[in-house]
Amino acid sequence: MPLLSWLSESTDERPDAIRVDDRSVSWVELRRTAAAVADDLRGVRRVAVTATSGLETVVAVVGGLLAGAAVVPVPPDAGPRERDHILRDSGAEVLLGPAGAEPTDPSGPPVVPVDLDRRSDTHHPEPAPEATALILYTSGTTGAPKGVVLSRRAVAACLDGLADAWSWTPDDRLVHGLPLFHVHGLVLGVLGPLRLGSRLHHVGRPRPERYAGAAGTLYFGVPTIWSRIAADPAVARALRPARLLVSGSAALPETVFGGLAALTGHRVVERYGMTETLITVSARADGPCRAGTVGLPLPGVQTRVMDERGDAVPTDGVAMGELQVRGATLFDGYLHRPDADAASRTPDGWFRTGDVATIGPDGWHRIVGRAATDLIKSGGYRIGAGEVEDALLAHPGVREAAVVGLPHPDLGQQVTAFVVGDGVRETELIEFVARHLSVHKRPRQVRLVDDLPRNAMGKVQKKLLPDV
Ligand code: MLC
Ligand code: AMP
C-alpha cells in the first residue's frame, strides 16, 4: 500500500480534512496542491523543508514524498550553525519554505517557496517501500546532530501498528500542536492522518486552551503539555468527550496521569519510541492503561532488556537493564556515520536504545531512565549536552562548559549549563546559544562557577556538579 494511502486514493472534497492553525484543505485539495510541488521536484533525491507549524509544511512534506524524494525537515528556529549542518550533511538539493530561512552557507541549496494556490493532477507513482521517506536530525551525546534515515516501509509499519493499538480510524479527528520536524508531530501527527484517513487539526502551538477548543476524538501531547492541561481544570474537563488521549516522547509523571484521569475521565495511553526506532511500545485503546508504564511491543516489534554482560534480565518487573529493540519500524542507519551506526547495534542485530527499562511478567514495559547523562529530554525535545557545550565554547568569554539536565517540574528536565567564564553574563550566554542552535536547545539556566569538578585524568565529573 502506498505510504500515504488514504491521501492518494481519497475523492473526498469536503473542506476541513486537514486544518493547520487557521487554514484548512480537503483531501483532494491537499493532494493536488502537493502534486504541484512534486511536479517541480522531478529528479530531486533529497529535499529539505523549513518545518514551521503551518499548512505549507504539510504541503511541502507531502510534495516531497509524492515526488519520491527523501524529506529533510529543518527546525524553523534553527540557528545558522545547526541549519547549515543539516543542509550540508543531508545533501539536500532544494529547501522548501518561507523566504528568510536561507542557508548562510553560499553553497547551500536554493530556497523555493511553497505556493498554496497552485494545483496539479499529475499522478506520481509510489517509490519502492525501501526508498527513504525521511531523514530526521537528532542529537547524540556529543557533536552535531546525526541524520536518521527512515524508509517508507518503516514509517508505514509504525503507523499501521499504531492504528491497530489505538483503533485509529477515519472516524477520528486528531488534535495536537507539536512541532513538525520530529517523529511525534510529523510522523504520527501528520503522516498518520494521511495514511489512516483521520482528520487533523494542528492547533499551531500546543497551548492548553487551543487543545480545549478543538473538539477532537484523539489528542497527542508530550508530558509537559499534559501537565499544563492537568493544571487547568476547565481545559482538562473540555477533553472529556474525546475518545483517546496519548502521551509520549518523555515519561508521563504518575501525578499527571492521575490528575488527568480525575478531570477528563480518561486514562492516558502512554507509548514509547525514538527517532531511530519510531514507536515500538504502547498501551492499547482496548486494554488497560497503567500509570508509569508504556505497555507492550507493537505489532512487528520485538524487545529485550539486557544487563551489562549482555545477558537478558528476568522479566519480573524489577530487574533493570538496557532496552533493545528490533523489527519493522527501525531506521536504516545514520547518514554518513557508519561508526555511530555500528555502535548503536549489538552484534546480533538489535538496536541499543540507551534507555533503562524493566519488563514485567505480563510483558508490560516500564522506562526507568537513560543510561547516559549526556542526553537530555526537556519538554519532550532530545538535546545532546555535547552540542550545547560546543556552542557555549564558541563564545569568546567561555573557558569551560558542562551541560546537564536537571529535574524540572514543567519540562521534566531543564538544560542547565555550568560555565567557567571571563566576565560573561548568564543571559548573554543563553541568547548566544539560542541564536546559534534551535531555541529549545538553549540553557534555561547558566551557573557561573570557578571551576568544574574533574577526575585525575582531567575528565569532567558531571555527577559531582551541584544538584545533579
Ligand atoms: C524563548 N524563546 C526565545 C528565547 N527563549 N526566542 C529567542 N531567544 C530566546 N532566548 C521563544 C521561543 O522561540 C518560543 O517562541 C517561545 O519563546 C517559547 O519557547 P519554548 O522553549 O518552546 O517554550 P515552552 O512553552 O516552554 O515549550 C514547551 C513545549 C515545547 C512543550 C511547548 O517544549 C514543545 O513543543 N515540545 C515538544 C517536543 C517534541 O515534539 N518532541 C518529540 C520528539 S520525537 P514561539 O513564538 O514559538 O512561541 C520523540 C519520539 C517520540 O521523542 O517518542 O515521540
Ligand atoms: P527522540 O530521539 O527525540 O525521539 O527521543 C527518544 C527518547 O525519548 C527515548 O530514548 C526515551 O528516552 C524518550 N521517550 C520517548 N517516549 C517515552 C516514554 N513514553 N517514556 C519515557 N521516555 C520516553
List, for residues 55-82, the tens digit of each pLDDT value: 999 999 999 999 999 999 999 999 888 9
Print the domain residue range for 251.
1-371
pLDDT 10s digits, 423-443 = 999 999 999 999 999 999 999
Judge if 307 and 253 occupy the same domain.
yes
CA 47–ligand 1 middle distance (angstroms): 24
Task: Indicate the residue among 338, 354, 371 that finishes a domain.
Answer: 371
Judge if 407 and 291 occupy the same domain.
no
Give how far Cα 156 sits from Cα of 75, 151, 191, 329, Å: 23, 9, 9, 8
Provide the pLDDT for residue 34: 97
Nearest ligand by distance to the CA of 440: 1
Judge if 50 and 191 occupy the same domain.
yes
What are the counts of helices (DSSP H) followed by strands (DSSP E) for the chain? 13, 25
Please name every residue paired with 325 in a beta bridge, in sequence order, or none if there are none.
303, 351
Judge if 283 and 388 occupy the same domain.
no
Residues contacting ligand 1 via CB (< 6 Å) = 77, 178-179, 182-185, 205-206, 222, 224-225, 248-249, 273-275, 379-381, 430-431, 434, 439-440, 442
The band of 370, judged by pLDDT with boundaries at 50, 70 and 90, is confident
Whose CA is closest to atom 3 on ligand 2? 382
Judge if 365 and 460 occupy the same domain.
no
Percentage above 70 pLDDT, the chain: 99
Judge if 244 and 273 occupy the same domain.
yes
Judge if 245 and 304 occupy the same domain.
yes
Q: Is the pLDDT of residue 388 over 90?
A: yes
Query: Could you give the CA distance from residue 372 to residue 370 in angstroms, rounded to a whole number?
Result: 6
Provide the pLDDT for residue 327: 98
**Strand, helix or coil for residue 210:** helix
For 399-465, the DSSP string reads: EEEEEEEEEETTTEEEEEEEEEESS--HHHHHHHHHHHS-GGGS-SEEEE-S---B-TT--B-GGGS
Rounded to a whole number of angstroms, the distance between the first and last alpha carbons of the chain is 49
Type of residue at 307: D
In the structure grid, which three cell numbers stand for residue 214, read together?
Answer: 478543538
Ligand 1 pocket test: pick from 209, 439, 445 the residue with the most ligand atoms within 8 Å of its Cβ.
Answer: 439
Judge if 410 and 462 occupy the same domain.
yes
Closest CA to 373 of 282, 464, 296, 307: 464
CB 170 within 8 A of CB 6: yes
Please name every residue paired with 322 in a beta bridge, in sequence order, or none if there are none.
306, 356
Arithmetic mean of pLDDT over the chain: 96
CB 313 within 8 A of CB 366: no
CATH number for the domain spanning 394: value is: 3.30.300.30
Judge if 342 and 431 occupy the same domain.
no
Strands, sheet with 218-221, edge to edge from the N-terminal-most edge strand:
23-25, 18-20, 199-202, 173-176, 218-221, 244-247, 269-274, 278-282, 296-297
Task: Indicate the residue among 341, 371, 401 that finishes a domain.
Answer: 371
CA 131–ligand 2 middle distance (angstroms): 26
Task: Indicate the residue among 371, 400, 423 that finishes a domain.
Answer: 371
CA 278–ligand 2 middle distance (angstroms): 10
Provide the pLDDT for residue 371: 85
Q: Is the pLDDT of residue 44 over 70?
A: yes
- pTM as predicted: 0.96
Sign of the CA dihedral running 203, 207, 213, 216:
positive
E runs forming strands in 168-234: 173-176, 199-202, 218-221
Judge if 49 and 110 occupy the same domain.
yes
Domain count, the chain: 2
CB 412 within 8 A of CB 379: yes
CA 191–ligand 2 middle distance (angstroms): 19
Query: Could you give the CA distance from residue 77 to residue 253 in angstroms, rounded to a whole number?
Result: 29
The more confidently predicted of residues 146 and 103 is 146
Average pLDDT for 274-288: 97
The band of 101, judged by pLDDT with boundaries at 50, 70 and 90, is low
pLDDT 10s digits, 139-159 = 988 889 999 999 999 999 999
Q: Is the pLDDT of residue 102 over 70?
A: no
Percentage above 90 pLDDT, the chain: 93
CA 182–ligand 2 middle distance (angstroms): 12
Q: Is the pLDDT of residue 100 over 70?
A: no
CA 399–ligand 1 middle distance (angstroms): 28
Judge if 364 and 416 occupy the same domain.
no
pLDDT 10s digits, 440-457 = 999 999 999 999 999 998
Judge if 144 and 27 occupy the same domain.
yes
Q: Is the pLDDT of residue 99 over 80?
A: no
CATH number for the domain spanning 57: value is: 3.40.50.12780
| Nearest atom (ligand 1) to Cα of 435 | 8
Provide the pLDDT for residue 226: 98
